[in-house]
Amino acid sequence: MTPSGLVRCTVMTAALALALAGCGGTSDDPVTSASGAAASTASSTGSGAPTTQAPSDAPSGGPRQCPVKTRSVPAPAGAQTDLTKKPAVAANTAPPPADVTVADLVVGTGAEATTLSSVEAKYVGSLYTTGQEFDSSWKTSVDTTIPFTVCATGTIPGFAVAPTGMKVGGRREVTIPAALAYGAQGQPPTIPPNAVLVFVIDLVKVTPPAG
């Protein structure tokens, strides 16, 4: 796969097929094969493409909630907390988590991202077991960001839910099981089948959901 747009097909680089469906992805891409403005559940199809499910209203009638949940874990030792520097992901020999885990490396102080917020973020994506980087917004420039909507189609489900609860100025490491990434299909040659992924995300901008 060529490094084409993670969200902006004509601007961004991305070895992932995290592109918006409107950017011309194929039906073989787990992201673009999902339909509807929805986040994904943990189940997947035979092709490795996660299925989708719309955010639901909170029981109290409050803001809509993403069906994909995250679990907070401690920040790894030695994590890069200088936001002016590109983060790196270390190889990991521990058994990978079965759910999406988030570790806040830097806690932001700005606007908070919630389900269906529009956000802009920097990212580095790596393989869990080796730490090998497969894509990064930093390749373009230190200021390059990608836009996406929290808990909506357009990115893989584990990535889409990742900024939930983050505040602008924060940095978060997110570990995503294969079922909420590219499943048994993978994204050869950079992402093998059943790969657990790790992203380090810097949250740059948040726009509250409409309504």
Q: Which of 29, 104, 128, 135 is catalytic?
A: 135
Q: Which of 29, 104, 134, 159 is catalytic?
A: 134
Q: Which of 104, 148, 156, 191 is catalytic?
A: 156
Q: Which of 29, 104, 199, 201 is catalytic?
A: 199
Contact (Cβ atoms closer than 8 angstroms) between residue 203 and residue 108: yes
| HSE-up of residue 150 (Cα within 13 Å, Cβ side) | 31
Q: DSSP letter at 47?
A: T
Can 201 be counted among the known catalytic residues? no
Q: Which of 29, 104, 123, 146 is catalytic?
A: 123
Can 128 be counted among the known catalytic residues? no
Count of CB atoms situated within 10 Å of the CB of 13: 19
Helices (H), the chain: 30-33, 157-161
Which regions of the chain does DSSP assign to beta strands (E)? 39-44, 50-53, 56-57, 64-65, 70-72, 100-106, 118-127, 133-136, 146-149, 171-176, 197-207
Spatial separation of the C-alpha atoms in residues 128 and 134, rounded to whole Å = 11
Can 134 be counted among the known catalytic residues? yes
Count of CB atoms situated within 10 Å of the CB of 89: 23
* Closest to 16 measured CA to CA, from 146, 168, 105: 146
Q: Which of 104, 148, 182, 191 is catalytic?
A: 182
First to last CA, the chain: 38
Can 159 be counted among the known catalytic residues? no
Can 123 be counted among the known catalytic residues? yes
Report, as residue numbers or ranges, the catalytic residues: 123, 134-135, 156, 182, 199
